[in-house]
């Protein structure tokens, strides 16, 4: 565990949390530190990994069922599930985690601007990705 990792400290009981759901490998907590709306939750592996692609298949297989349980418990129909990797992608806590952010009204929750790049040539990246997928990178 990197010194000072807040999510590791939560998983180890060093920071008081409002646990919503716990498994041997995963923890879901109410976000009381920087919530964007009522019910904003964080879902993360107990084990320290910095990014999504470092999570094990077992850890990943638990995430979406837990998110679904939280959505149903909130009784919300408008929400975002977001996960950022790396500083350029706006990751600020470098322990892989997912946000469940309810959108109760237009004013609260996640504000999002989608700046699509028109006519972007995807040929080279498609070739690289399909070549790598054929080699089954894990």
Residues with a catalytic annotation lie at 97
Distances (CA, A) of 91 to 50, 87, 95, 123, 134: 10, 5, 9, 28, 30
Measured distance CA(131)–CA(138) in Å, rounded: 14
CB 93 within 8 A of CB 7: yes
Cβ(20)–Cβ(70) under 8 Å? yes
């Amino acid at each position: 565990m990197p010194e000072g990792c807040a999510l590791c400290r939560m998983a180890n009981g060093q920071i008081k949390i409002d646990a919503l759901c716990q498994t041997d490998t995963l923890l879901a907590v109410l976000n009381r530190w920087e919530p964007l709306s009522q019910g904003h939750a964080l879902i993360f592996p107990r084990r320290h990994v910095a990014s999504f692609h470092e999570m094990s298949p077992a850890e990943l297989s638990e995430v979406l069922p837990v998110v679904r349980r939280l959505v149903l418990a909130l009784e919300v129909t408008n929400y975002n599930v977001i996960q950022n990797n790396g500083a350029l992608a706006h990751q600020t806590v470098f322990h892989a985690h997912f946000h469940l952010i309810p959108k109760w009204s237009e004013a609260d929750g996640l504000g999002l601007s989608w700046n699509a790049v028109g006519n972007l040539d995807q040929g080279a990246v498609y070739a690289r990705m399909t070549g790598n997928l054929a080699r089954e990178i894990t």
